[in-house]
Amino acid sequence: MRKVFQAELHQIGEELIEISQLVSEAMQKATSAFESADTELAQEVIAADARIDFLQNDLDERAIDVLALQGPVASDLRMIVGALRMSASLERMGDLARHIAQLARLRFPDNVIPESIRPTFAEMAELDIAITAKVTELLETRNLELSNEVYAHNARINELHAGVFKAIAAADWDASSPTTVDVTLASRYFERFADHGVSVARKVTYLVTGEWQPSAPLN
Amino acid sequence: MRKVFQAELHQIGEELIEISQLVSEAMQKATSAFESADTELAQEVIAADARIDFLQNDLDERAIDVLALQGPVASDLRMIVGALRMSASLERMGDLARHIAQLARLRFPDNVIPESIRPTFAEMAELDIAITAKVTELLETRNLELSNEVYAHNARINELHAGVFKAIAAADWDASSPTTVDVTLASRYFERFADHGVSVARKVTYLVTGEWQPSAPLN
């Protein structure tokens, strides 16, 4: 019984890592599609999101089965409840990567973002990709140094996100209103993506240390 | 043991209803603050969100304790896992009501939304308030007719949300770029709020019928 249980816990952990890898891949492709107005790559991201949703459901069902059949307690129980929550965050990150790809497809052959503000978006994209890579590694290794790096990336993304709104409010902003809408939504997607990465990192940290780190509410 | 268990399940259900009521109140006040540029009311919503966060944590801890101590199975287990997920959705709805209040406070004494598009926002606000009232009643009564009404309200909100972007793209849209940003974000908050209401309604439906209703992915 104990052996089966350990195997199932291991399987849940592996599935979480797999979802995280798929999200990382989705975000890499989505930002590439977004930056180079590549509609085929965007379409790939949109199609691949169904796989993430499927795996999340699968993981959740598996976790509920383990709860029902094994009646885990203490740290095992917290790990399973944590996995349910992390899978929800990862699934949402997949959705946000899809939204970014959808914006790229919607505006094709145009680029979503005006040239003047592309460096800001390039940095946000790079940081979001770094966050997914670190979240995946964190799930694999539980090296909490990675959590701190995720928090730092998120703080920088929040600055960049605020910078986007400053740029839009500046006298020299001459983009059309629909472009302003796109820029606003895209910036929000990148920023929310990072927030969910922070949620996952916090949960891993909590599982390892047993200490919840209260912090300012996320947006 | 069984009696204690039933009392704890009941308590979790009651706490969920309480959170839902607080979210409903928050959304009523937030939209009122938003529509009438009432900064004091906005401040009230922002302050009250901490209580929602606290209750969510409390409910989650209680649910985990019940899992650990009672080892529930079958429908009781699904009810508890469902409660953990519903509390997350409700907590997020509270955040979105807070964001709407924050926009109102940020632009005070101005109104966030240009006059031409206020009727659209008034209808979204009304529907979101109706959604929270129906979600609360659904949690209390498990009358699934209410779920269908929540889905219908959400469908209408999606139309209104699309209508906002059409209005912004129209030739006669003459608002400033920062106002366009505010309108975009506000519309997104109202729309996401409804999505989370749908998530809660779907989970209640699932708990009652045992059938998951697959549907188009939410935004």
For residue range A79-93, list pLDDT tens digits in order. 999 999 999 999 999
Do residues B147 and B205 touch, judged by C-beta distance below 8 A?
A: yes
CA distance A82 to A174: 46
CA distance B183 to B188: 8
Q: What is the pLDDT of residue B1?
A: 62
pLDDT at A102 over 90: yes
R_g over Cα of chain A? 19
Q: Which two tokens stand for residue A19?
A: 């979802």
CA distance A60 to A66: 10
In this structure, what are the phi and psi dihedrals at residue A179, rounded to the nearest 5 degrees?
Answer: -65, -40
Lowest mean pLDDT among A27-36, A69-78, B1-10, B148-157: B1-10
Q: What is the pLDDT of residue B216?
A: 43
Buried b (16+ CB within 10 A) or exposed e, B188-209: bbbbbbbbbbbbbbbbbbebee
Q: Name every chain B residue with its beta carbon within 8 A of the beta carbon of A177.
A: 168-169, 173, 175, 177, 180
Is some CB atom of chain B closer than 8 A to the CB atom of A177? yes
The residues in A 105-164 lying below 8 A from B, measured between CB atoms, are none
- More confident call, A213 vs A103: A103
HSE at residue A176, side-chain half, CA atoms within 13 A, is 11
| pLDDT over 70 percentage in chain A | 96
Domain parsing of chain A, residue ranges: 2-209
Res. A217 pLDDT band, cuts 50 70 90: very low
CA distance B214 to B219: 15
Q: What is the pLDDT of residue B2?
A: 79
Q: Which two tokens stand for residue B160?
A: 């209104």
Write down the ipTM of this complex. 0.93
* Mean of pLDDT values over A30-50: 96
- Record: contact A169-B178, CB cut-off 8 A: yes
**Closest residue of chain A to B60, computed from CA coordinates:** A81
Is some CB atom of chain A closer than 8 A to the CB atom of B168? yes
Give the residue carrying structure tokens 């188009």.
B216
HSE at residue B89, side-chain half, CA atoms within 13 A, is 25
H/E stretch holding A178: helix A177-209
Torsion angle, CA of A161/B23/A82/A56, rounded to 10 degrees?
-80
Q: For B32-72, what is each residue's pLDDT tens digit?
A: 999 999 999 999 999 999 999 999 999 999 999 999 999 99
Question: Helices (DSSP H) in B71-144: which residue ranges?
Answer: 74-107, 118-141
Q: What is the pLDDT of residue B210?
A: 78
Picking from B67, B74, B217, the nearest residue to A95 by CB comes out as: B217
Residues with Cβ < 8 Å from B151, sequence gap 6 or more? B198, B201
Do residues A27 and A133 touch, judged by C-beta distance below 8 A?
A: no
Closest CA to A85 of A158, A19, A153, A159: A19
> What is the end-to-end Cα distance of chain B in Å, rounded?
43
Q: What is the pLDDT of residue A216?
A: 43
- Domain A2-209 fold: Methane Monooxygenase Hydroxylase; Chain G, domain 1 (1.20.58)
For chain B, residues with pLDDT lower than 70 are: 1, 212-219
In 10 A of CB A31, how many CB atoms? 24
Q: Name every chain B residue with its beta carbon within 8 A of the beta carbon of A71.
A: 71
How many residue contacts between A and B have a Cβ separation below 8 Å?
77
Q: What is the pLDDT of residue A213?
A: 57
